[in-house]
Amino acid sequence: MKLRFLTSAVALTAMLLAGPVAAEPILIKFSHVVAENTPKGQMANKFRDLVAERLAGKVEVKVFPNSQLFGDNKVLEAMLLGDVQMAAPSLSKFSRYTNSLQLFDLPFLFNDIAAVDKFQNSAAGQKMLNSMRKKGIVGLGYLHNGMKQLSASSPLRTPADASGLKFRIMTSDVLAAQFEAVNATPLKKPFSEVFTLLQTKAIDGQENTYSNIYSKKFYEIQPYITESNHGLLDYMVVTSAEFWMDLPEDLKGEVKKALDEAIAFGNQVAMKKSIEDKQKIVDSKRSEIITLTPAERAQWVEVMKPVWKKFEKEIGADLVDAAYNSNK
């Protein structure tokens, strides 16, 4: 008894001498699937650095790139369970939580990133950040990567060239319909598996931006890239409603500010990379970049655009119109 009292007294004295225990910073684990040298990778690192600069000891961001922690099939579930706090999946990967974001997958909807920006910044676009609230997911902002190109093991100039080929796609029914429209077979597979699927010839092609094709070395094993600009690869930075609501207001404001700045930086990286990474692929001479004539491109538009009608009801015809009108 005496000994126990003595031990407690020693422990108490030691605690008092050590002073108040410093609170641990709030940890934001940010999980993503791409390389660090990409628009999303650079954005996440910038966010981590800005938070470290401004909120040291209060909030800490740890970034897990390259599907290190979670691949795209699991990250949203993990976020809802509190295993990660932030992610930025491509807009094609939310269909389990909302139909409306399928909008961004409609082929040939946006002419360029300026039109995408215009729509995302409109009231309708901003409202879509909240489209998964009821499912516990909060959209904090959009991030660009760029327009997608088609890479393949054989040259693709017209839709007939894609007929019978297998293409890896993200988990989106719109993207599946898009490839079915050219009589190709779409396969929904995680990003982390694409290189091996291409290398082992389990698939013939895939669609992605120049920065993903370059950073994941798809160009080294895909001899042809068709500059189709047929679709968009953009992201939504998301967190869980639970985490966001629990974050103290003053910190929330600072975290959001740092994120907005990091997104603006990531968007600049996206613009640069769409030009620079294309050039690196050209310089490598590993893959030929095919430029379509207006007549060839028109054929892709003609066969793929009917996909819009199929999904118009699920997405909302008003949203499709609003997005299309942002090209003007």
3-state per-residue secondary structure call for 84-114: CCEECCEHHHCCCCCCHHHHHHCCCCCCCHH
What's the closest the beta carbon of residue 145 comes to ligand LMR, in angstroms? 6
Minimum CB–partner distance for residue 100 and ligand LMR (Å): 18
Query: Of 145 and 158, which CB lies nearer to ligand LMR in the complex structure?
Result: 145
Q: Work out how close the CB of 276 gets to ligand LMR at its nearest, in angstroms, rounded to a whole number.
A: 17
Q: Which residue has the tokens 């108490």?
A: 12
CB 210, min distance to ligand LMR, A: 12
Per CB under 6 A, the list member of 26, 29, 31, 33 interacting with ligand LMR is 33
Half-sphere exposure of 82 (CA within 13 A, CB side): 6
Alpha helices in the chain (DSSP H): 2-18, 39-54, 75-80, 113-121, 123-127, 159-162, 173-180, 194-199, 210-215, 241-246, 249-284, 294-304, 307-315, 317-325
And the tokens for 230?
């047929």
Please count the residues of this chain forming the interface with ligand LMR, following the rule CB under 6 A: 10
Residue (of 99, 187, 80, 149) closest to 288 by Cα position = 149
Using CB under 6 A as the binding rule, the residues of this chain from 36 to 55 that contact ligand LMR are: none
Applying CB under 6 A, among 34, 165, 237, 262 the residue interacting with ligand LMR is 34
Which lies closer to ligand LMR via its Cβ, residue 212 or residue 326? 212
**What distance in Å separates the CA atoms of residue 259 and residue 254, rounded to the nearest whole number?**
9
Residue 243 C-beta: closest distance to ligand LMR, Å = 21
Binding mask 222-261 for ligand LMR (x = CB under 6 A): -----------x----------------------------
Q: Is 90 in the site for ligand LMR (CB under 6 A)?
A: yes
Report the distance separating Cα 147 and Cα 288, nearest Å: 18
170 or 262: CB nearest ligand LMR: 170
Q: Is 63 left (phi over 0), alpha (psi -120 to 50) or beta?
A: beta
Name which of 158 and 212 has its Cβ closer to ligand LMR: 212
Positions that interact with ligand LMR (CB under 6 A): 33-34, 72, 90, 145, 170, 191, 208, 212, 233
